[in-house]
Amino acid sequence: MKTFTAYVEWDPETKLYVGIIPAIPGAHTQGATLDELNANLKEVLSMCIEEYGEAVENLPQFVGLQQIEIAV
């Protein structure tokens, strides 16, 4: 069992939740609800892990998020 961290945003234009797993290239999806997004993330993550095989242990590890403030 391995745990991955997903970054989740709400897109007001499409009215969908968008999820990205930063440590896994290509692991991103969307869903109308958080439950649907979670299921879709599990599905895409499984496909990515299958593609990477043993190399998944060498992928970067997600550390965290930082908010950066700038004048606009």
Q: What is the pLDDT of residue 17?
A: 98
Looking at residue 8, its pLDDT comes to 96
Per-residue pLDDT, 18: 98
pLDDT-based confidence at residue 6 (cuts at 50, 70, 90): very high
CA distance linking residue 61 with residue 72, whole number of Å: 32
Provide the residue range defining the domain that includes 45.
7-58
> Looking at residue 48, which CATH number applies to its domain?
3.30.160
Domain count, the chain: 1
Query: Considering only CA atoms, which of 6, 16, 15 is closest in space to residue 41?
Result: 6
pLDDT number for residue 37: 98
**Pairwise CA distance, residues 26 & 44, whole Å:** 8
- The radius of gyration of the chain from alpha carbons, rounded to an integer in Å, stands at 14
Q: Is the pTM of this model over 0.85?
A: no
Q: Any bridge partners for residue 8, and if so which?
A: 19
List Cβ neighbours of 41 (8 Å cut-off, separation of 6 or more): 6, 19, 21, 27, 29
* Per-residue pLDDT tens over the stretch 16-58: 999 999 888 889 999 999 999 999 999 999 998 888 777 767 7
